[in-house]
Amino acid sequence: MREQKVTEQPTYRPGMSRRSERKQKTVETSRKTPSPTPRKTERKTDTEFRAHYGNARYGSEPYRMTESLKPTRSKGPIIAFAVLTVIVMLIGSILAAGWFVLLRPMGPDVEPGQEVIVTIPEGATTTQIADILVEHGIVDNPNMFRLVARQHDDVVFNAGRHRMATGSNYDEAIIALALPPLPENVVLVTVIEGLRIDDIALTIEEQMGIPAPEFAAYAHSAVPEFADSYPYLEGAYDNSLEGFLFPDTYELEGDATPHDVCARMLEKFDTVWNELEVPAERLAQHSVQELVTIASIIEREASLDDERPLVASVIENRLAIGMMLQMDSTFQFLLPPGRMNEVIPTIVDSQTESPYNTYVNYGLPPGPIGSASRASLHAAAFPAQSEYYYFALTSKTGEHTFSHTYEEHNVAVQKMMSIFGQ
């Protein structure tokens, strides 16, 4: 039997056109035939493609970038930047060197803080004034002074004599020059710390013209003239103002007398003493004259402010047990000026007979041995609390070694001998 081939007929509905019939058949066919799954491929990089397939444009040779085709960067900007940097650094170095030359210190090597009289001539220019200030050590550099002065163009410099200080900053110098000048007959007198009346007399003679013997004779006997104004002077040894003429810088009339000078210096001492506000307990231990005497010893024995209270404590500790003070400064007070500052005095000097010599007398000297500074007066009024009974100078910069026992002190003395010699 022949097998009959059955052909599936498309579904036909009345009213369907042949075009619709064909469209339906196509849809049905697409439903039966699945879509092929897209094939996943890895994309090669440009370099890999060219290496695998060759250069399609220029033949089958693998692609190689030739030197002529490589991108190049211009070196022009780098070279220009380097040149510009060198030029800027060179200009900066030149300017820095020039600035240093223009503004370097040019004044004399003087200790700062020293008061001097500077005379500014009538009609002097800023340049001339700058040179004068540098010459006296008031400021370091004339060019810098002119630069700063331009910032104060509203300030008028007054001609005449001005009281100024060495080592001033530029603003301080400008302010000083703007003040009214000193009267023509005013004399600036500076008395340093630690001087005796006889030494002060030499300073007065040098700076004011008053004969030293005249001034010294007056100051050594002037207590009765001032005791009413300053009661603590009553009973001063030999009626002398020794220790009460405060060291400072004074503006004095050129025709001032010894009385005028002493009056100004006593007034300054009284001001400083009252500013200390010495406790009543301390004044119960010592009179003002005794405290000034202690301060005068401290002034001669110590040069460093932080050691002054310790020296005061040694004095107090020795006085408390009835021990001789044995301070070199008390017999150096009796020596001529040229020998007052000897570090290691002689045995003969230490045996000099005098009420001031604490090597042969107990207790304090009868009066001060010189004019003490504010720091020494403060140390006398407020001594440190310590167990020291000895001290020795063991440094060329002023430091002392303080000791509790005599054995410790001997070690310090040996060190002093090795530094300053026998």
pLDDT of residue 6: 43
Residue 72's pLDDT band (cuts 50, 70, 90): low
Q: Which residues contact 230 (CB under 8 A, 6 or more apart)?
A: 244, 266, 270
pLDDT of residue 56: 47
CATH of the domain at 165: 3.30.1490.480
Co-location of 309 and 418 in the same domain: yes
Average pLDDT on 38-44 reads 53
Q: Of the candidates 182, 217, 241, which is a domain's last residue?
A: 182
Q: Is the pLDDT of residue 95 over 90?
A: no
Q: Is the pLDDT of residue 341 over 70?
A: no
pLDDT of residue 277: 96
Co-location of 174 and 210 in the same domain: no
Examine residue 293 and state whether it is found in any structural domain, yes or no. no
Co-location of 219 and 327 in the same domain: no
Co-location of 381 and 350 in the same domain: yes
pLDDT of residue 154: 85
Examine residue 49 and state whether it is found in any structural domain, yes or no. no
pLDDT of residue 58: 45
Co-location of 147 and 243 in the same domain: no
Residues paired with residue 165 on neighbouring β-strands, in sequence order: 115
Q: Which segment of 67-81, 119-133, 372-386 scores lowest on mean pLDDT?
A: 67-81
Co-location of 232 and 329 in the same domain: no
What rounded mean pLDDT belongs to the chain? 83
Tell me the pTM: 0.68
pLDDT of residue 139: 92
Q: Is the pLDDT of residue 7 over 50?
A: no
> What percent of the chain stands above pLDDT 90?
57
Q: Is the pLDDT of residue 2 over 50?
A: no
Q: Is the pLDDT of residue 210 over 90?
A: yes
Q: Which segment of 261-265, 328-332, 365-369 scores lowest on mean pLDDT?
A: 328-332
Average pLDDT on 275-300 reads 97
Q: Of the candidates 139, 165, 182, which is a domain's last residue?
A: 182
Pick the closest to residue 291 from 324, 262, 258, 269 (CA basis).
269
Apex CA 202: angle with CA 197 and CA 208, to 5°?
115
Q: Of the candidates 276, 295, 325, which is a domain's last residue?
A: 276
Rg of the chain over all Cα atoms, to the nearest angstrom: 50
Average pLDDT on 80-91 reads 73
Q: Which residues contact 90 (CB under 8 A, 6 or more apart)?
A: none
Co-location of 147 and 244 in the same domain: no
Q: How many domains does the chain have?
A: 3
pLDDT of residue 398: 92
Residue 378's pLDDT band (cuts 50, 70, 90): very high
| pLDDT, greater one: 294 or 349 | 294
Examine residue 37 and state whether it is found in any structural domain, yes or no. no
pLDDT of residue 4: 44
Average pLDDT on 138-148 reads 90
Examine residue 393 and state whether it is found in any structural domain, yes or no. yes
How far apart CA 422 and CA 407 sit, in angstroms, is 19
Co-location of 202 and 270 in the same domain: yes
Co-location of 141 and 211 in the same domain: no
pLDDT of residue 339: 66
Q: Is the pLDDT of residue 17 over 60?
A: no
pLDDT of residue 351: 83
Examine residue 239 and state whether it is found in any structural domain, yes or no. yes
Q: Is the pLDDT of residue 343 over 90?
A: no
Tell me the CA distances in angstroms from 229 to 28, 232, 236, 367, one per residue in order.
138, 9, 14, 20
Average pLDDT on 370-391 reads 97
pLDDT of residue 133: 93
Co-location of 224 and 164 in the same domain: no
Q: Is the pLDDT of residue 310 over 90?
A: yes
Co-location of 385 and 318 in the same domain: yes
Q: Which segment of 65-79, 186-200, 319-333, 403-417 scores lowest on mean pLDDT?
A: 65-79
Give the range of the structural domain holding residue 385, as residue numbers without chain letter. Answer: 305-422
How far apart CA 342 and CA 174 sit, in angstroms, is 42
CATH of the domain at 208: 3.30.1490
Give a three-class secondary structure readout of the chain: CCCCCCCCCCCCCCCCCHHHHHHHHHHHHHHHCCCCCCCCCCCCCHHHHHHHHCCCCCCCCCCCCCCCCCCCCCCHHHHHHHHHHHHHHHHHHHHHHHHHHHHCCCCCCCCCCCEEEEEECCCCCHHHHHHHHHHCCCCCCHHHHHHHHHCCCCCCCCCEEEEEECCCCHHHHHHHHHCCCECCCEEEEECCCCCCHHHHHHHHHHHHCCCHHHHHHHHCCCHHHHCCCCHHHCCCHHHCCCCCCCCCEEEEECCCCHHHHHHHHHHHHHHHHHHHCCCHHHHHHCCHHHHHHHHHHHHHHCCCHHHHHHHHHHHHHHHHCCCCCCCHHHHHCCCCHHHCCCCCCCHHHHCCCCCCCCCCCCCCCCCCCCCCCHHHHHHHHCCCCCCCCEEEECCCCCCEEEECCHHHHHHHHHHHHHHHCC
pLDDT of residue 316: 97
Residues paired with residue 117 on neighbouring β-strands, in sequence order: 163
Pick the closest to residue 301 from 231, 375, 407 (CA basis).
375
Examine residue 407 and state whether it is found in any structural domain, yes or no. yes
Examine residue 130 and state whether it is found in any structural domain, yes or no. yes
Co-location of 384 and 409 in the same domain: yes
Examine residue 399 and state whether it is found in any structural domain, yes or no. yes
Tokens of 348: 């003969």
> What percent of the chain stands above pLDDT 70?
75
Q: Is the pLDDT of residue 387 over 60?
A: yes
